[in-house]
Structure 1
Amino acid sequence: MRKSRGFEGELIIEIPKVATSHCEQLPLIAQLFIARMGYYPKAMHHYYQRPNGISQAILLYCSDGQGWVETGGNVVQVRAGEIFVLPMDVPHSYGADAKNPWSIYWMHLGGSHCDAAAAAVMERGGEPARAVQVGFSEERNALFTHIARTLLKGYSASNLLQANLALPHYLSSFIAPEHFGSQKQSVRDASPTEKAILYMQENLSNSLTLDNIARSVNLSGSFFSRKFKKDTGYAPIEYFNYLRIQKACQLLHFGAMRVNEVASAIGIDDPFYFSRLFKQQMGIPPAHYRKNKGIYGQ
C-alpha cells in the first residue's frame, strides 16, 4: 500500500494560492519562499510520483530511517542525516524504504531563485545526483519549527515575511552544517579545507606560501589548490590575504598601532604592498580607513 500522507504525528502546511501570490509581491521574499512544508515521521509506505515534475523545488531532509529518490532513471538512496533537493520541472518519484521508512522534513520552494537554492545545497556534495550528507542539528530543527509555527498563525504579510526571511538561514544549515549546533567538528574530523583555514587563522602573522598551507594538511600543492578553490571559490593565498586584511581592519579600528606596524603584525614587511593590498580589498588606503574608523564610520 502506497500513500502520500496520513502518518501519525505528521505536520503539513499548505500555503494558499492567495498567500503565495502575496509572497511574489513582497520584494524581500519574492525570489524565494515556501509554498508547502511538512514533517512525516516513520512514513511507512510514503510514495509520490510526478511524471512532469512541478514548478517548485522540493527539499527532502531525512532525519531517521531511509528512502529513495528517482530522477531520469537514476535511483538515489537517501539515508538519515542526508538531504536531496529536486529542481523545478524535473520528473521524479520518491518514497520510504519498505523496511526502515524515513522520517522527513520537507518543503516546496517557490520564487525565481528556488533552483539556485537547490543548486547551492546539492553542489556541496559534488555530484548533483547524489544525496548530500548534512548530519543532525537541533538548531536546524528549531528553525524549521519556528517557520512552521509562524505560518500556522496565518498568512498576514508580517507572518509571511517572518517565516520566509528565516528560510535562507534554514537552508544555510545544509550548505554549511559545520556552523550549526551539534554540527561542530573536532579538528581531527574537519575537512582538509577547514583544517587549512584554521591553519591560516593561526598564522596570520606569518608569510605563508601555497606549499606551507598544503603541507599543513598533507596534500600536494596542486591538488590542494584545486580542492580549496572548489570548496571556497577562492585560491588559497587569495583567501589567506582576505583573512589578513580582515585582521588588519580590526587592528586599525581598535588599536593604536601605526600602519607599518599593522602590516608587520599580519606578516607583511613591505608597507607599500600592504597599502596596495588593503586598498584593493577595502576600496580605501589603510590610513584613510583608520582616520574614518572604517568606510562608513562607527
Structure 2
Amino acid sequence: MHIKNLFFHIHYCNSRQIHETRPFRRKVVRTLPHHELIFITGGSGDITVDQKKYSVKKGMLFYICPEVLHSIETSREEPIYFFSVHFSYAEVSFEEGKWAVRDEKKMLPIQPAQELKDYYPIEDIFKKLVDTWNAKLPGYEFITKTILQQLLVALYQNKRRQNPNYANSLKVERVIAYMHQHIQQRVTLPELSAVMHMSPFYLSRTFKIITGYSIIEYFNRIKIDKAKELIVEGDKKVKEVAQALGFTDEFYFSRIFKKVEGVSPSEFYRKNIHGF
C-alpha cells in the first residue's frame, strides 16, 4: 500500500486548545465506523485503545481504527488539548490504462499510540488542517484532503528519521539520485552495488522494502516519465526517444512504456499532441 494510491474522505475535524472555555465531557467511550488521528498539544488524562491505557503527553499521536473500542478520559482541572481528524480512505490506482478501486485496508501502518520526536512540523500541519476545515472557504474539502496527505507523509518521514535503518533510506535516495544522473544510460545492479558499497542482494531487498518497487521497475518509471516529456516536445521519433534514454531495443522500450502508461508511445503522442 502506497500513500500515492490512497483517496481520502474527511468526515470532520475537531480540536480543543488552551484558550477555549467551552464545556467538555470528562470521559468518552466509543467505537467509530472510520479512522481517527489525534495529536495531543497539552493537558492531562488517559486514552485507552483496545484495552491498553496510555497517559497523554504533549507530542503524542493516537491512531484509532474503525470498530476499535476506545475511551478518552480527561482531567477536570487540565483537560486534554488536541487536534483530530476523522476520515475514511480507499486505495485507487491507474494501471495499464485502467482505474482500479480497492476496498480500504483496516489499518494504516501507524502505531495505536506513539510519542513523536521533533513533532513541531507535524503540529503545524495538523493546525493547518483543522483551521482549513473550520474556515470552510471555497474548495476546503479538496484542500483538507491534500493537507491530510501531507500530514501522513510527514508522519512517515518522522518515523523514518527515528528508525535505526534510516541510513539505508539515505542510501536508497542516493541510488535514485544516481539513476537521475545516468538516465541516458543502462545502469546495472552490480554497478549500483559498487557505488553504494552494498551487496547486490542486500541493495535489491532494501530498495524494494523502502520504495515498493524493484530497482529495474523504479529506473524504468523514471525513464518513462522523461520519455513523456521528450514525446510531448514532438521533435523526436519513438526510436530516438528510446535511444536517448539508453534503450537499445525500440520494441522493448515500447513494451515498458505501455506497461507503465497503459498506451504505446505512439498512442501517447497522438492523444497529447493531436487530442485523439
In the TM superposition, what is the alpha-carbon distance from 1:102 to its structure 2 partner?
6.9
CA gap of 1:178–1:59, structure 2 versus 1, over 3 A, is: closer
Look up the match of 1:119. 107
Equivalent residue, structure 2, for 1:235:
214
**Residue 226 of structure 2, aligned match among 232, 247, 262:** 247
Could you tell me how far apart the structure 1 residues matched to 2:192 and 2:74 are?
A: 44
Cα deviation for residue 221 of structure 1 reads: 3.6
Q: Hey, which of these two has a bigger chunk of strand by percent?
A: 2
1:131 counterpart SS class: strand
Residue 278 in 1 paired to residue 264 in 2? no
Change (3 A) 1:207 1:57: same
- The corresponding residue for 1:174 is 151
Native 8 Å contact 1:253 1:290 kept in 2: yes
Counterpart position of 1:131: 114
Q: Partners of 1:170 and 1:228 in 2: how far apart?
A: 27
Unmatched runs of 5 consecutive residues or more in structure 1: 1-30, 154-158
- RMSD over aligned Cα, in angstroms? 4.4
Kindly indicate whether the alpha-carbon contact (under 8 Å) linking 1:47 and 1:93 is maintained by their aligned counterparts in 2: no
- Equivalent in 61, 64, 68 of residue 90 of structure 1: 68
Aligned 8 A contact 1:77 1:131 in 2: no
The offset of 1:105, in angstroms, is 1.1
Aligned equivalent of 2:93: none
Q: Are positions 1:269 and 2:248 aligned together?
A: yes
After superposition, the C-alpha distances for 1:169-214 in whole angstroms (9 at most, x for unaligned) are 122112222999xxxx9xx996444443333333322222344445
Q: 1:121-172: per-residue Cα shift (whole Å, max 9, x none)? A: xx1x5xx44538584154553343111111xx8xxxxx7xx44333321221
Residues 76 and 129 in structure 1, CA contact (< 8 A), matched pair in contact too: no
Return the alpha-carbon distance in structure 2 between the equivalents of residues 199 and 78 of structure 1: 44
**Residue in 2 aligned with 1:18?**
none
- The aligned counterpart of 2:38 is 60
Indicate yes or no: 2:197 matched with 1:197: no
Among all aligned residue pairs of Structure 1 and Structure 2, give the percentage whose two residues are the same amino acid: 23
* 1:240-285, Cα deviation, whole Å (9 max, x unpaired): 2111101101011115233222212222222221122112222333
- Name the counterpart of 1:147: 133
Which amino acid counterpart does residue 249 of structure 1 have in structure 2?
K
Letter in 1 for 2:177: L
Aligned to 1:7: none
Cα 1:211–1:173 change in 2 (3 A) is farther
Change (3 A) 1:234 1:75: farther
Most deviating of 254-263 and 63-72: 63-72
Alignment CA distance shift 1:240-1:68 (3 Å): farther
SS at structure 2 position matched to 1:293? helix
- Match of 1:229, SS state, is helix
TM-score of the aligned structures, taking structure 1 as reference length = 0.61
Match of 1:16 in 2: none
Q: In the TM superposition, what is the alpha-carbon distance from 1:217 to its structure 2 partner?
A: 4.9
TM-score normalised by length of structure 2: 0.65
Residue 4 (structure 1) aligns with = none
Once residues 196 and 243 of structure 1 are traced to their aligned partners in structure 2, the CA distance between those partners, rounded to angstroms, is 12
Structure 2: where are the runs of 5+ without partners? 1-7, 91-102, 162-166
Match of 1:32 in 2: 9
Question: For the residues of structure 2 that align with 1:169 and 1:213, how far apart are their CA atoms?
Answer: 35
2:13–2:133: 8 Å Cα contact kept in structure 1?
no
Distance 1:276 1:116, change over 3 A: closer
Q: Deviations over 1:217-245 (max 9, x none)?
A: 55444344344334433223212211110
The aligned residue for residue 86 of structure 2 is 108
SS in 2 for 1:225: helix
Distance 1:91 1:274, change over 3 A: same
